[in-house]
Amino acid sequence: MSICLFGVNHKTADIAIRERFTVAETDYQERIKLVLDHPSIEAVVILSTCNRTEYYLSVSSTSDFEEYYSSLFGQQDNHQVIYKLTNQQAVNHLFAVTAGIDSLVVGETQIQGQVKTAFEAAKQVRIDSSLDKLFQMAFKAAKLVRSETEIGRNPVSVAHCAVQLGRQIFGDLQKQKILVVGAGETSELVIRYLINHQAGHMTLTNRTRSKAEKMARIFDTGVMPLNDMESRLSEFDLIFTATASPLPLISHQAVKKALLSRKHRPMVMIDLSVPRDIEDSIRSFDDVFLYAVDDLQKVITENMSRRQNTVVEARRIIEAEAALYMQWLQRKKYHNLLQQYQNKVDKEKNRILAKKLSENDDEVMQKMEILAHQVSKKIAHPVISGLRKVIESGNEEHIKMIAELLELEIENDT
């Protein structure tokens, strides 16, 4: 069994490409079932956020995985955009992602919840021991990184950067009229950061009105029906969007109309969604400042440089934990060799005893069985211990050589 990964992220693809690969959380299970139709794929976890879409697979054959990958992407197979990783590299990557080391904002905490959601969705369909162990160890590694490095201090997120950007543009947020579109975790973080910076005049809207009303009661904001949003855009100076909508919610035409009503007073729009909630053509208006997720890379926060200095330390922890997982996977992969050898010893012991079965009475036979068991155990123990050490070393050449010497069969994983 091998671990494979393919995906795109903010480092390899811009938002226009990433949004083509996005899978909504509500669609995780349906997509997983489609992937599991492939006979060589034992289990899959799909992780899709504003910064990445990744497929983590447990496969019985890496060559079959390559064929599946090619049939899935076809001519879109651009190695500079879509990355493919296997085993150690894939494990290191997941651990770095879960710890927030691979995020747009290094050390952000929201990703851990997103990874857990992806993992839980996969478990509802089908998970195997390899992926189950992998994700459990990823959560452990992330916890270690947060407790043992500076990354765990003064947590930030993409939502934090978005609010910082709004403050850089407007300065004081108390007088600005603010609209937050969406009622999920990112929107909640945006509202919390806005409150921390004494923002006033906040309004919340969401496709499911009950969710918007519930969040509005918690944070004491106004509520607006989503159907009224475009007609009331002119009321707002600063707009944040963070939804899972597959199509834009704010159109070019609606913003054009809003600017006329505002007599061209500037508007700032910060779109934290992938796919995007705001039509990109809105950038053509002189009086609108539109920022998408990728634009936040240009926002420098006060503790980012400090976080970068701890990445090396965090990666040491990640690599150590990833090596432990690979040892476990190696033992699992070659566990049948240990069992094969033990079965060979038992078979030979039973063959010799069978010859004497008719020559001795039950009492003598019982003593012979006990003696044979003790002797075979004494002979087999150092061999099994040595074989286990070779397996844990991960040296494929040595494993194959020992297996050949002991006349054991290795299951092919090609």
Structural Rg of the chain based on CA atoms: 29
pLDDT band at 111 (very low <50, low <70, confident <90, very high): very high
- List the chain domain ranges: 2-154+308-330, 158-300
What is the residue-wise DSSP string for 221-275? -EE--GGGTGGGGGG-SEEEE----SS-SB-HHHHHHHHHHTTT--EEEEE--SS
pLDDT band at 180 (very low <50, low <70, confident <90, very high): very high
Q: Report residue 290 as tokens.
A: 């539109």
Which of 64 and 128 is assigned the larger pLDDT?
Answer: 128
Whole-angstrom Cα distance, residue 268 to residue 165?
10
Q: Report residue 70 as tokens.
A: 């090619």
CATH topology classification for 2-154+308-330:
Beta Polymerase; domain 2 (3.30.460)
How far is CA 12 from each of CA 71, 80, 84, 203, rounded to the nearest angstrom?
Answer: 21, 6, 12, 35
pLDDT for position 406:
74
Rounded to 5°, the CA angle 227-231-232 comes to 100
Residue 239 confidence (pLDDT) above 80: yes
pLDDT for position 305:
59
CATH topology classification for 158-300:
Rossmann fold (3.40.50)
pLDDT band at 321 (very low <50, low <70, confident <90, very high): very high
pLDDT for position 405:
73
Span 345-395, pLDDT tens digits: 777 777 777 766 656 666 777 777 777 777 777 777 777 777 777 776 666
Span 42-78, pLDDT tens digits: 999 999 999 999 999 999 877 777 777 666 655 455 6
161 is catalytic: no
pLDDT for position 191:
94
CB atoms within 10 A of CB 136: 12
Whole-angstrom Cα distance, residue 65 to residue 79?
16
Span 360-374, pLDDT tens digits: 666 777 777 777 777
Whole-angstrom Cα distance, residue 36 to residue 41?
6
Which of 168 and 303 is assigned the larger pLDDT?
Answer: 168
Q: Percentage of the chain surpassing pLDDT 70? A: 87
What are the percentages of helix, strand and coil residues in the chain, rounded to 5?
A: 60, 15, 30
pLDDT for position 414:
44
pLDDT for position 75:
47
- Picking from 350, 356, 342, 339, the residue whose alpha carbon sits closest to that of residue 372 is 350
Residue 232 confidence (pLDDT) above 60: yes
Whole-angstrom Cα distance, residue 206 to residue 49?
19
Whole-angstrom Cα distance, residue 242 to residue 251?
15
Which of 150 and 272 is assigned the larger pLDDT?
Answer: 272
- Matching fold, domains 2-154+308-330 and 158-300: no
> Of the given ranges (120-134, 182-196, 306-320), which has the lowest mean pLDDT?
306-320
Rounded to 5°, the CA angle 196-290-299 comes to 55
pTM exceeds 0.85, yes or no: no
Dmax (CA) for the chain in angstroms is 109
- Picking from 358, 353, 359, 355, the residue whose alpha carbon sits closest to that of residue 375 is 353
Q: With b meaning 16 or more CB within 10 Å and e meaning fewer, what string describes 181-205? A: bbbeebbbbbbebbbeeebebbbbb
What average pLDDT does this structure show over 222-244? 95
Catalytic pick among 3, 45, 46, 50: 50
Span 205-220, pLDDT tens digits: 999 999 999 999 999 9
Share the mean pLDDT of the chain.
Answer: 85
- Picking from 227, 15, 207, 192, the residue whose alpha carbon sits closest to that of residue 109 is 192
Residue 300 confidence (pLDDT) above 60: no
pLDDT for position 74:
54
Q: Which amino acid is at 138?
A: A
Q: Report residue 299 as tokens.
A: 């926002």
- Picking from 124, 95, 114, 108, the residue whose alpha carbon sits closest to that of residue 52 is 114
Contact criterion met (CB below 8 Å) for 137 and 144: no
pLDDT band at 141 (very low <50, low <70, confident <90, very high): very high
